[in-house]
Chain A
Amino acid sequence: MNAHQSVGIVMIEDDEGHARLIEKNIRRAGIMNPIRHFTDGTTALDYIFNDAGGPQLNGPALVLLDLNLPDMSGTDILAKIKNSDGPVRRTPVVVLTTTDDAQEIQRCYDLGANVYITKPVNYENFAQAIRQLGLFLSVIQIPDQADG
């Protein structure tokens, strides 16, 4: 991740426990970027598109997205991000969810998801997966939103 820039991580995850475990393991992987956590889709979208500190108005970000949300489906959020006009559409979206249904995975990639990760139920595997994701995040290039 572009270290010189403050790339914010937007985590949309309705389960507080999952969110905490994800955050812990990302931190353990050495990623210190700010993480904004939202438990529902509406406020998350509001932050992404309208907040002064959100990706639309304030530069690059990365979205960690859970598909099972109380108010809307994660795929709706994915579609909204990827079909938007502004620079947000280039925001990398990592779908991180319990669903391992082949059709769902396909659908997410069709909608423009950049990475799809199934949360392993086994915690050791889960922790390892998140740490690897952290390592992955530390090397990938995030597009500069301002160039939009």
Chain B
Amino acid sequence: MAVTAPPLLAVRDSPLGRRLATFMLLGFLALIGAGIAAAWVVAENQRHARWVAHTYQVENVILDTRRLLEQGETARRGFLLVPEEAGFLRSYREASEALSPKLRGLTRLTRDNPVQQRANAVLGAQVADLAVRRQRTFDLLQAGDAAAAREAFRTDSAAGRMRAIRATFDAMLKEERRLLAMRDADLERSEKLFYAILLVAGLLLLGVALTSLATILSYTRDLAHSRDQLSQLNESLEGIVDERTANLTRANDEIQRFAYIVSHDLRSPLVNVMGFTAELEASADTLRALVDRADAAGSDVVTEDDRLAAREDLPEAIGFIRSSTQKMDRLINAILQLSRQGRRVLAPEPIDLAALVAQIGETLAHRLDETESTLEVAGELPVIVTDRFSIDQVLSNLVDNAVKYLRRGVPGRIVVRGYRAGARAVIEVADNGRGIDARDHQRVFDLFRRSGTQDVAGEGIGLATVRALVFRLGGTIDVTSTLGQGTTFRLNLPLTLDLQESKE
């Protein structure tokens, strides 16, 4: 099954996120802009509205002033016609009194406008002039000189003072109308601007919302897609793992079977070689006895070559054949043993490692005493659930090696210590022995390979067995060592052996 490379799921996420962030930022900027514009437009609007109101106010005051003036004029005329009626005089006085605050108000209100100011000045002069004339009329009338008063009134009318005042008022009103129209237009414009900005902001918001929505939707779609792909990938991964495991199991079984058959079938011919070597040896002994007898009898049939063959060559050849076949036998047995251990059914149970080490120490007590070596457990060892036979073999081999490869003249100190590391246990077997050369650190775990001076009997099987066992227990083993100072083997085993997992 081909391993399909996982599609690069992560690649799309980053630009998408950036795009989303950009849109969000743009949207917020636009919103802030719209807000500022709206605030500005509202302020403008208010200003314009204020001006419009001002215009109306001015207009009102103008109209009030005019009304008061007209009222005064009407009172003057009425009084001229009916001097004995005191109501006219009162009306006149009221109008006169109300007039001056209005005029002051008008002056104040038109301060912003030079045109109206000028008109106001003119109006002031005209009104003042008119007031003088009126006063004279009233004075004359109160003095009882009605004829003079009428005469004076006629002259006034001819001069058209009232008309002039009216014209001034008209001009002022016209000016205000003009201003009003202008300000209305301004107001309208600013209102239009406000609505335009509202519209633009609304459109912007809508755009941002739609884009964000689209982005989020596509993001969600991508996410769902990725999730589907991931789960698919997961499934196929599980399939791949299962398949690989099955392949490995097959391969391992194959190797086990192969090792078993090979070692088994190698034994048969070896039995023959060894058997007939023994037969040959017996025959050689017979021959040698014959040569000895012939020599003793003083026969000259036996040559020097015969003697050499019977006494030296044959025994030597047989000796070499014998020792070689014996070595071969041991090697084959080692392979057989390894393959047998690989086929053994594991039975996990809780193991008290300290007790196990003590037991190993008892087994090796004789050799420990002989070399004045000590075996001790430092601190607490974690309790692990694993196969007793396997872990016993592993630790026995390691301790045995430590006792075997001591430094000359230095009593061995073998320390077993351990600790938990998450769901795993680390167990160390440390010694102060002769150590292993760094270039042999991997090699020592290979079958039939040994390191250092070959002064101790051994086939190079122990550590190979240990590694095979540790692998079966779902663990690893490594070694740290300095030549001439000591060696530490470190086991890393699962706290609980899961048969499902380690079943290769």
How far is A123 from B281 in the complex, measured between Cα atoms in Å? 12
- Please report which residues of chain A, range 1-54, place their CB below 8 angstroms from some CB of chain B when the two chains form the complex: 15, 17-18, 21, 24
Does B278 contact A119, Cβ atoms closer than 8 Å?
no
How far is A18 from B276 in the complex, measured between Cα atoms in Å? 10
> Among A15, A99, A124, which residue has its beta carbon within 8 angstroms of that of B272?
A15
Question: What's the minimum C-beta distance from A20 to chain B, rounded to whole angstroms?
Answer: 8
Does A15 contact B268, Cβ atoms closer than 8 Å?
yes
Does B279 contact A119, Cβ atoms closer than 8 Å?
no
How far is A121 from B272 in the complex, measured between Cα atoms in Å? 9
How far is A121 from B267 in the complex, measured between Cα atoms in Å? 7
> Among B271, B278, B326, B333, which residue has its beta carbon within 8 angstroms of that of A18?
B271
B452 within 8 A of A: no
Which residue in chain A gives the minimum CB-CB distance to B340? A101
Does A17 contact B267, Cβ atoms closer than 8 Å?
no
How far is A98 from B264 in the complex, measured between Cα atoms in Å? 7
B233 within 8 A of A: no
Question: What's the minimum C-beta distance from B272 to chain A, rounded to whole angstroms?
Answer: 3
- Please report which residues of chain A, range 51-96, place their CB below 8 angstroms from some CB of chain B when the two chains form the complex: 68
Total number of A-B contacts with CB less than 8 angstroms? 49
How far is A98 from B329 in the complex, measured between Cα atoms in Å? 13
Does B268 contact A123, Cβ atoms closer than 8 Å?
no
Does A127 contact B275, Cβ atoms closer than 8 Å?
yes
Given A98-B264, A121-B329, check contact A126 B279 (CB 8 Å).
no
Chain B residues, Cβ within 8 Å of A122: 274, 326, 329
How far is A99 from B260 in the complex, measured between Cα atoms in Å? 10
Chain A residues, Cβ within 8 Å of B275: 17-18, 21, 123, 126-127
Does B271 contact A126, Cβ atoms closer than 8 Å?
yes
Does B271 contact A24, Cβ atoms closer than 8 Å?
no
- Please report which residues of chain A, range 93-148, place their CB below 8 angstroms from some CB of chain B when the two chains form the complex: 98-99, 119, 121-124, 126-127
Interface string of B246-266 (1 = CB under 8 A from A): 000000000000000000110
B117 within 8 A of A: no
Chain A residues, Cβ within 8 Å of B271: 15, 17-18, 21, 98, 119, 121, 123, 126
Does A121 contact B264, Cβ atoms closer than 8 Å?
no
Interface string of B23-45 (1 = CB under 8 A from A): 00000000000000000000000
Does B272 contact A17, Cβ atoms closer than 8 Å?
yes
Does B264 contact A17, Cβ atoms closer than 8 Å?
no
Which residue in chain A gives the minimum CB-CB distance to B277? A123
Chain A residues, Cβ within 8 Å of B276: 17, 21
Chain A residues, Cβ within 8 Å of B264: 68, 98-99
Chain A residues, Cβ within 8 Å of B272: 15, 17-18, 21
Question: What's the minimum C-beta distance from A134 to chain B, rounded to whole angstroms?
Answer: 16
How far is A68 from B326 in the complex, measured between Cα atoms in Å? 23
Which residue in chain B gives the minimum CB-CB distance to A103? B343
B270 within 8 A of A: yes
Question: What's the minimum C-beta distance from B341 to chain A, rounded to whole angstroms?
Answer: 13
Does A123 contact B278, Cβ atoms closer than 8 Å?
yes
How far is A125 from B326 in the complex, measured between Cα atoms in Å? 13
How far is A68 from B268 in the complex, measured between Cα atoms in Å? 10
Question: What's the minimum C-beta distance from B101 to chain A, rounded to whole angstroms?
Answer: 131
How far is A122 from B330 in the complex, measured between Cα atoms in Å? 10
Chain B residues, Cβ within 8 Å of A17: 269, 271-272, 275-276
Scoring B265, B271, B274, B277 by chain A CB atoms within 10 A of each residue's CB, the highest score goes to B271
Does A124 contact B268, Cβ atoms closer than 8 Å?
no
Chain B residues, Cβ within 8 Å of A123: 271, 274-275, 277-278
Which residue in chain B gives the minimum CB-CB distance to A14? B268
How far is A24 from B279 in the complex, measured between Cα atoms in Å? 10
Which residue in chain B gives the minimum CB-CB distance to A21? B275
How far is A17 from B270 in the complex, measured between Cα atoms in Å? 10
With A18-B271, A122-B274, A123-B271 given, name 14 new contacts (CB 8 A).
A15-B269, A15-B271, A18-B268, A18-B275, A21-B271, A21-B276, A68-B264, A68-B265, A119-B271, A121-B267, A123-B278, A126-B271, A127-B275, A127-B278
| 23 CB < 8 A contacts A-B | A15-B268, A15-B272, A17-B276, A18-B268, A18-B271, A21-B271, A21-B272, A21-B276, A21-B279, A24-B279, A98-B264, A98-B267, A99-B264, A119-B271, A121-B267, A121-B270, A121-B329, A121-B332, A121-B333, A122-B274, A122-B329, A123-B275, A127-B278
Q: Which residues of B contact A (CB under 8 A)?
A: 264-265, 267-272, 274-279, 326, 329, 332-333
Q: Which residues of A contact B (CB under 8 A)?
A: 15, 17-18, 21, 24, 68, 98-99, 119, 121-124, 126-127
Which 6 A-B pairs rank lowest in CB-CB distance, beginning with the nearest? A17-B272, A123-B274, A123-B278, A21-B275, A123-B275, A98-B267
